[in-house]
A and B are shown apart, each in its own frame.
Chain A
Amino acid sequence: MKGNLNLIIEESRTLKAIARNWAFCFLIFFIVIFSFTGKGFLSIVNFQNIIHLSVIAIFMAAAETFVIITGGIDLSVGFVMGLSSVTAGKIIQILFAAGNLSVGAILLTGSVIALVVSLIPGLISGIMIARFKVPPFIATLGMWGITNGIALKICKGFPVASLPDELTKIGNGYTIYYKEGSGISWFSLPAGIANDQIREYLRLIPISFILLFIVIFILRHILNNTTFGQHTYAIGGNEDAAIRSGINVQKHLIKIYMLSSFIAGMAGVFNVFQTGIGNFTTFGAMYELFAVAAVVIGGASLLGGKGRLLASVVGVLLIAVLENGLLISGVEPFYRYIAVGLLLILAIVIDQLFPDLF
């Protein structure tokens, strides 16, 4: 039966494409289903919200994709994000309170320092994994504890508040504001609009989309079109062969973990812009596990050598659409945990049935 199925799929190109992109097909399927069951699901505003709220998860999944392709795992991304968010928040808070600099300079300084800081956990776990052969699971689990502790120490267990309002204006802003009659205005509402009039405007393309597209485009380019990306796949496919063909595997792995940590740091900085405060990561958030789930749903293998960046993004969107759709359809939100669990198992079973597809 299994053999037959494999054969049929082998023969038909369309079926092969469907099986390979089953997560994408599921995404379309869910969107169609929820369009019928959930009132207001099928609207531009809702889709914009879904993507805007999954930017952080997409960053995490992108970070995890690189690591998983090399056959490793990075459990620290969630808390590195918290660390970066709290660091950026704290620096912005201090500079803002001092009041010497312009708001733009303050935000820039905070973001840059947080991004630089977020390279450090990756550097340390990379060195441990590459040079000292510590299993990635343990090295990054250790970093999980360390970054969480440091983030909590910086913010003393409370979110970092009283930051400039400009943060959320940028983070939750839109590129286009449109109202019939008064025309289009770019990046900000026309002057002199009261708060209750905002709803009259059609708001399109959140600024976060631009960031998201730039980051994903660059990362995809790195993974698909550069030697760095090729080496990443080579190491995941067969580390010995990669060493023999002259790749500096140790150095490459350190770079991979630094990249993963840096992307998590970007998610942290974005988190400050989105929420307007510096948030530490709670234990219940489990960003790292949802990121791994999304990557696996996207067809990557935990053994390494397989994985596509856009497929991981689809994995995140699938989880997000499921969550949003269930909520709008009036199903209790905690079913999302169960749904994600079932999706994951499905992903693995599909992977087991058709091992040659991906």
Chain B
Amino acid sequence: MQSLMTQKNKDLLLRIGKQWAVIFFVAELIFFGLTAKGFFTVNTFQIVLFFGTAIMLMAVGELFVIITGGIDLSVGYVMGLSSIVSTKLIVAFAGSGLPELGAILLGILITLVLGLIPGMINGLLISRLNVPPFIATFSMLGISHGVSELLITEGAAKNLPHMANVIGNGHFLYFAQESGFSFFVRPEVARGVKVFELLPNVVVMTFILVAIFAFVLKRTVFGVHTYAIGGNEDSAVRSGINVKNHIMKIYMLSSFLAASAGVIYMLKYVTGKADAGASLLLDSIAAVVIGGASLSGGSGTVWKAILGAVIIAVLETGLRILGIPTFDKYIMVGVILIFAVLIDQVFPETTYKDKE
């Protein structure tokens, strides 16, 4: 009887250990709900998601890389590079007489395609030349930083058409008392009538991308192979997976997501900046690790990485509402990151089970 009890306790403890990120998230919400005024409003949550878009996208990219046992340090500066490239392209297209929307869409499309290149070079170096991921992606960090600075020597990346601002800071759904629901376009109302703004466009875009990649990881052969390579690269090679090609695709995917984060940055802030994502390296890796992925590869899920990203985003917004300087955010993210790994050490089985 006694032993059964302890077994039961142990199981319970294990289950809690496995879900500690969820518990932490709830505790975080309760804490800010009690201390920060006006925290529990739709608006605050939209702001959390609005500012969290870049972390979420880069965390998903980093997750794929970390599952294969690698690391991608270049995401932050690839994001900055793509914010500059997209701005420059759109300004050029708009200047050449294309309609605003056409220029924006074409610019974004070309940027996303170009965004594959850093990842392709990373992947080539890592899979063909056996360069350690840390070194290859660090070189790419330097190179994309250099190219960014090169692009803005002749002038800062700005003067985007007005439409970019409308898309980036607009909402998917508007609701006003008299005119009812309207999509994308803010209804014209008399002064003083409140218009409810729901679902920022950039958040919708981010969620679509995240959903696609969650599907890819969970339900496709590509995803299965990704886990297989991270679990045991040798056996993956022996079971006929083209590991070299797969690794290349993984780094291209990560760099694609970083480029989309850059495009979204461009839409949000209507400008391009070389160091747009410089501070996001810690955040994106922390999000993945808080989500229970192991740096030695083979484990991790998209929704948990997103949970990790949201935990960081809530922390940031909550602290801002409390009026605490953002410096404390870095300390807390660091502490949570270390805490996450320590928990991982105490409950070693938990991350392993997460694979299923």
Residues of A within 8 A of B (CB): 73, 128, 132-135, 137-139, 141-146, 148-150, 152-153, 156-157, 283-284, 286, 289, 292-293, 296, 302, 332, 334-338, 340-342, 344-345, 348-349, 352
Contacts and interface: CB of A to CB of B under 8 A. Distances in A.
Contacts of A149: 327-332, 334
B149 A334 contact: yes
8 contacts: A132-B342, A133-B345, A135-B295, A138-B337, A148-B327, A153-B328, A334-B150, A337-B146
Contacts of A133: 345
B334 to A, nearest CB: 3
Given A138-B289, A142-B337, A146-B334, A128 B150 contact: no
A289 B295 contact: no
A116 to B, nearest CB: 20
Given A134-B338, A139-B338, A345-B129, 15 more contacts: A128-B342, A135-B295, A138-B285, A141-B286, A145-B333, A149-B334, A153-B331, A157-B327, A289-B138, A335-B150, A341-B138, A344-B135, A345-B136, A348-B136, A352-B131
Interface centre among A145, A148, A332, A340 (most CB of B within 10 A): A145
A153 B334 contact: no
A292 B138 contact: yes
B345 A334 contact: no
Interface string B63-90: 0000000010100000000000000000
Contacts of A342: 139, 143
Contacts of A292: 134-135, 138
B341 interface: yes
B131 A345 contact: yes
Contacts of A157: 325, 327
Interface string B119-149: 0000001000111101110111111011101
Contacts of A135: 295-296, 341
A57 to B, nearest CB: 15
A345 B335 CA distance: 33
A337 B142 contact: yes
A195 to B, nearest CB: 35
Nearest to A347: B135
B282 interface: yes
B153 interface: yes
3 tightest Cβ-Cβ pairs between the two chains A and B: A145-B334, A149-B331, A334-B149
